Amino acid sequence: MIKLAVGPKDVEAMERGQALRAREAEGLRHVTRMTPKRAPEILQGGSIYWVVAGVLRVRQRILAIESVRRADGTAATALVLQPGLVPVHPRPMKPFQGWRYLEAAAAPPDIAEGEAVAEGIDELPPRLRRALSDLGLL
């Protein structure tokens, strides 16, 4: 699955927000309105890939999918997430609503520990980052 991370300006801000939410609740969850029709497939090692500030940057393993009720009583679905964000090779993404399925073949590979990755990219203006990425330079 792929989802926009709404709010955080960078991966570090997302990590801080998730750490805070994990301390306040039982585990780490992302609540969504729709239940994935491909839940059995997702639960066989699937991840949610997070788009942070217009760039697909990290993924997080989905451990369970549960039916829940929101505070107002409406039905929803909780994606139970494994703590910790796994960096992936960045890819610019246009905005979209909700979440989408991401086929395994289209998923960006993880960045291996110790692998050289360009630094300072997050400080570039989003438009420049996208242009450089479109040119294959990032």
- pTM for this predicted structure: 0.81
Is the pLDDT confidence value at 130 over 80?
no
Residue 89's CB: how many other CB atoms inside 10 A?
14
Domain chopping of the chain, boundaries = 2-134
pLDDT digits 0-9 by tens, 51-83: 998 889 999 999 999 999 999 999 999 999 999
Distance from C-alpha of 40 to C-alpha of 53, rounded to nearest angstrom: 30
Two structure tokens written together for 86: 């796994």
pLDDT digits 0-9 by tens, 22-52: 888 777 999 999 999 999 999 999 999 999 9
Q: Would you say 80 and 64 are in contact if contact means Cβ atoms under 8 Å apart?
A: yes
Name the percent of the chain in helix, strand, coil, to the closest 5: 25, 35, 45
- The pLDDT mean for the chain works out to 88
* Pairing of the two strands 28-32 and 2-4: unpaired
